[in-house]
Amino acid sequence: MIWLGGGYPELYAADLAANTVMLKHLRAAHQRGVAIYAECGGLMYLGSTLEDSGGEIHQMANIIPGHSKMGKRLTRFGYCEAQAMQPTLLAAPGEIVRGHEFHYSDFIPETPAVMACRKVRDGRVLQEWTGGWQTGNTFASYLHVHFAQRPEMLQHWLAAARRVL
């Protein structure tokens, strides 16, 4: 199992791109079916490329096909929920996971999203979008989840990890 958390990869994009040994090992783990979970900055790292705020494009892991592009304004902020539209590393179809998003980047995917996301306040849906991408046993999204709020998420992840052993 590999967990790539959030952070600010755009600040270290050149260094991350230059760390070809790490990228090679991540790709190899993905090819072997290792269960990889990435959130926010981890999504950007697993994407194909990352365009920093200066417009420079950096090669990333190319595991989740798509391009991250930094913006100057906050793209999404706050608590939201995501409902799996197909089996994912964290949830079965129809299951809901909750967390928060906080990012200045956009991810322009080359494959369809696997989660239907929404921001709900006082029973009202304020925003809806799709997000979260799964390739093989690798799942990445902007959503920062808290596993204690729904322990079944961890059970899904552990089950995926056990299938590789």
DSSP 123: T
Give phi and psi for 13, each to the nearest 5: -60, -40
Neighbours of 156 (CB within 10 A): 23
Residues annotated as catalytic are 40
For residue 116, give the nearest of 148, 93, 147, 146 by alpha carbon.
Answer: 93
Q: Is 114 strand, coil or helix?
A: coil
- Angstrom distance (rounded) from CA 96 to CA 143: 12
- Whether the Cβ atoms of residue 61 and residue 138 lie closer than 8 Å to each other: no
Whole-angstrom Cα distance, residue 16 to residue 115? 27
